[in-house]
Amino acid sequence: MSVVARFEIRYTQFLDPHGKAQKELPEFAANADQMARMYRFMRLTRVFDQRCINLQRTGQVGTIASSRGHEAAQIGVAAVMQPEDVMAPSYREHGAAIWRGVRMSQLLAVWGGDERGHNWDGPRHDFPYCVPIATQCLHAAGAALALKMRGQASCAVAFCGDGATSEGAFYEALNAAGAMQLPVVFLVTNNRYAISMPVEGQTAAGTLAQKAIAAGIPGEQVDGNDVVAVRHRCEQALRKARSGGGPSLLEALSYRLSDHTTADDATRYRPDAEVEAARLREPLRRARRLMEERFGWTEEQEQALTEELEAEVEAEVEAYLSAPKPQIEEIFEHQFGNMPPMLAAQREIARKYPAPGHG
């Protein structure tokens, strides 16, 4: 037997769990403004997240998926995306969306059961949250194809989870991206669980990065709790995609610090000790240490930031809660660009029966 192909999967980490640099940091990490901005948005994501859960517990939004623990993976890539790039998130990328200019009140509207939230700010071409697992990977590939056809030097970024890598749509997207050399980057956040299913049950593949090999595209792992590593490797991947170098896949190794959603109880299926251990590796702690060590970030600054972010979130919660109620007619308005008579007739009926309850 002769060897006809060889492959390697590499892993990148700059900061260890204590925020200690393991090797020389990339250039951007010396830029205090950039680092502070990234840290700020990671913190904002966390504050927002906590507030969302409170809102759910008090019946003010519906079921919501927390992004606790995913802050580095989201902000690390958002930070190197350009407005012209196209984001195709799953349902968990609150942080990346906020970075790109989506208002938190709009995110809340969606989770509160109001489609108007998805008519959101930030790049208008970005995709909304996507619930059917892995399907957004194909949208990102399609958007990338559109960018490529128009000769735009931009790229698309698809976000998905470890569970998503079992869906046919995920592989089809990877394979199409490879076959057509599309400017798209797949960021797989391996938070080790798909609801109750640990990643070891999801696949016999030792890494999710190696899924890329099936598509003939580059795949690599990065410490997803290390915002420096995420940003650095994503920057390379996005640049490559934008300049005609083709697609890539990054597996960000992280951990879901929350329940799957507010409708889930993770204690049913995972040991406390595991969660405890994961807390020690979580991304904010690490980023803060870096800020302290490199930029003399103080406890006072931290507290001031927290207060500022809490106020910011509170204002958005206010905006969300005080928005005018959606009306039943609205469900007809955007079903078609040209409303068929049949639907216009139904709208008349609906007007007679305004939505009870949550409306």
Partner 1 sequence: MSNLTLVEAVNQALAWEMAHDDSVVVFGEDVGVNGGVFRATDGLQERFGAARVFDTPLAEAMIAGLAVGMASQGLKPVPEIQFMGFIYPALDQIISHASRLRNRTRGRLTCPMVLRAPFGTGIRAPEHHSESTEALFAHMPGVRVVIPSSPVRAYGLLLSAIRDPDPVVFLEPKRVYRAFRQEVPDNGEGLPLDHAFVTRPGTDLTLISWGASALETWNAAGELAGEGIDCEVIDLATVSPLDKETILESVSRTGRAVIVHEAAVSGGVGAEIAAVLASEGLYSLEAPVMRVGGYDTVPPLARLEYGYIPSVQRIKDAVREVVEA
Ligand X SMILES: Cc1ncc(C[n+]2csc(CCOP(=O)(O)OP(=O)(O)O)c2C)c(N)n1
Work out how close the CB of 347 gets to partner 1 at its nearest, in angstroms, rounded to a whole number: 8
46, 211, 242, 281: residue in contact with a copy of itself (rule CB under 8 A): 211
Does 100 participate in catalysis according to the annotation? no
Which among 45, 47, 35 has a CA at the least distance from the CA of 296? 35
Rounded distance between C-alpha atoms, residue 319 and residue 14, angstroms: 39
Site for Mg ion in 144-163 (CB under 5 A): 161-162
What is the rounded CA–CA span in Å between residue 344 and residue 341? 5
Sheet holding 156-161, edge to edge: 86-88, 156-161, 184-190, 248-253, 219-223
CB 150 within 8 A of CB 188: no
Binding residue count for a copy of itself, defined by CB under 8 A: 43
> Given the rule CB under 6 A, which residues bind ligand X?
92, 131-133, 160-164, 191, 193-195, 256, 260
For partner 1, give the closer residue by CB, 236 or 248: 248
Shortest approach of a copy of itself to residue 53 CB, angstroms?
Answer: 32
Q: Which is nearer to a copy of itself, 10 or 358 (CB)?
A: 10
Clarify whether 256 is annotated catalytic: yes
- 191 is a contact residue toward Mg ion (CB under 5 A): yes
For the record, the structure tokens of 132 come out as: 């059917």
Q: How many angstroms separate the CA atoms of 266 and 257, rounded?
A: 10
Q: Which two tokens stand for residue 291?
A: 């800020």
Q: Which of residues 160-189 bind a copy of itself (CB under 8 A)?
A: 166-172, 175-176, 178-179, 181
7 part of the interface to partner 1, by CB under 8 A: no
Measuring CA to CA, how many Å separate 178 from each of 6, 121, 130? 18, 31, 23
Question: Is there a contact between 22 and 15 (Cβ–Cβ < 8 Å)?
Answer: yes
C-alpha–C-alpha distance, residues 346 and 112, integer Å: 25
Taking every pair of Cα atoms in the chain, the longest distance, rounded to a whole number of angstroms, is 75
Determine if 353 is a binding residue for partner 1 (CB under 8 A): yes
- Residues 141-180: x where in contact with partner 1 by CB under 8 A, - otherwise, as a string: xxxxxxx-x------x------xx-xxxx--xx-xx--xx
Q: Is 27 in the site for a copy of itself (CB under 8 A)?
A: no
Q: Which amino acid is at 358?
A: H
Closer residue to Mg ion in complex, CB, 76/117: 76
The entry of ligand X, a copy of itself, partner 1, none near residue 116 (CB within 5 to 8 angstroms by kind) is partner 1
Of 289-308, binders to Mg ion (CB under 5 A) are none
**At 54, which helix (H) or strand (E)?**
helix 32-57
210 binds a copy of itself (CB under 8 A): yes
Q: Which of 260, 281, 286, 320 is catalytic?
A: 260
> Of 135 and 301, which has the nearer Cβ to a copy of itself?
135
Active site residues: 256, 260, 269
